[in-house]
Amino acid sequence: MEKSMNLLVTGGCGFIGSNFVRQRLFSKDPEVGRIVNLDKLTYAGNPFNLKGVDTDPRYVFVHGDIGDEALIAKLLTEHQIDCVVNFAAESHVDRSIDSPEPFIQTNVVGTLRLLNASRRYWAALAEPKKKEFRFLHVSTDEVYGTLSLTDPAFTEETPFAPNSPYAASKASSDHLVRSFQHTYGFPTLTTNCSNNYGPFHFPEKLIPLMILNALDGKNLPIYGDGMQIRDWLYVEDHAEAIWLVVRKGIPGQTYNVGGLNERPNIEVVERICALLDAKSPRKDGKSYISQKTTVADRPGHDRRYAIDCTKIQKELGWNPRESFETGLARTIDWYLANRSWCDDITSKKYARERLGVS
């Protein structure tokens, strides 16, 4: 697939989706014709995430829902879409524990309706466009469940064992995508990623929450003993992996994408505090780590996630560019330089809501 493609990106105003759109348009990628961004603009969707690309003639924004099959069908036909990249999802575990139903509605029903409309469009395409069409579904390592300290990392063959309503909803959507490929021959691709971090991350997740709480003089809440281990993937590395899978991946295949950076949550918080101590010291001279506090653990909190990304490395030649140290430093620099974005999010879109830890 070397000629330019028109993309329908769902959830492109969210954290990972907006980084993907920005990367493709700012890079002036000749393989990108047009990007149509369909986003419902829920609490985590922010058009400001795409400031600077919104005037690009290749960019089109549409306010809408992936569950609207008529709208999806219209966009696919009107813009002669060659590839759908599905980022749209409810994604926060704490929210899914509090209220599972929105996760089922968006992640399961929404994905099904997006698949339905896309498959009908694909089935009516003439060759060679039909052969070249792709549907890429972005998912999570949480579908695989949890690991002990000695278990091998998740591979693409690891059985699904979701432990939260969020993870269960994503596992369901993964199964739907697989079924459309197997039943209809629909050219799907799935990526399962580890924990992302980086610019434009909504401040309910661990890293942005700790950065902003530290700077605002608030407590840094750590679940339980803080020894839950996650594999941290810089969001721009993830965006590059997704684009590589779109272009080079084999339809029907799943590709795990990991950062090769396993860290316990407490170590992540300590590293954030050390970097902030150096980059933006407290006026009283104390370390930000003094703001650390422990809170009751999340119900059913998975102990460890780890991704084996050997498949995408060997078959497609992808490797993360950022180490955890360089990626975290870049992330903190971004938040320090973009306090207005942070203030807008926390004051207008997240006021009075409980901030959780991913």
Catalytic one among 39, 94, 142, 302?
A: 142
DSSP assignment of 239-282, as one string? HHHHHHHHHHPPTT-EEEE--S-EEEHHHHHHHHHHHHHHHS--
Task: Give the C-alpha separation, 249 to 242, whole Å.
Answer: 9
Instruction: Reply yes or no on whether 142 is catalytic.
Output: yes
Tell me which amino acid residue 58 is: R
Q: How far apart are CA 19 and CA 14, in angstroms?
A: 8
| Residue (of 36, 33, 30, 49) closest to 235 by Cα position | 49
- Out of 121, 144, 166, 255, the active site residue is 166
Q: Within its chain, how far is the Cα of 299 from the centroid?
A: 23
Alpha carbon distances (Å) from 314 to 311, 317, 319: 5, 6, 9
Which one from 94, 141, 262, 322 is the annotated catalytic residue?
141
141 is catalytic: yes
**What φ, ψ does residue 143 adopt, rounded to 5°?**
-65, -25
Catalytic site residues? 141-142, 166
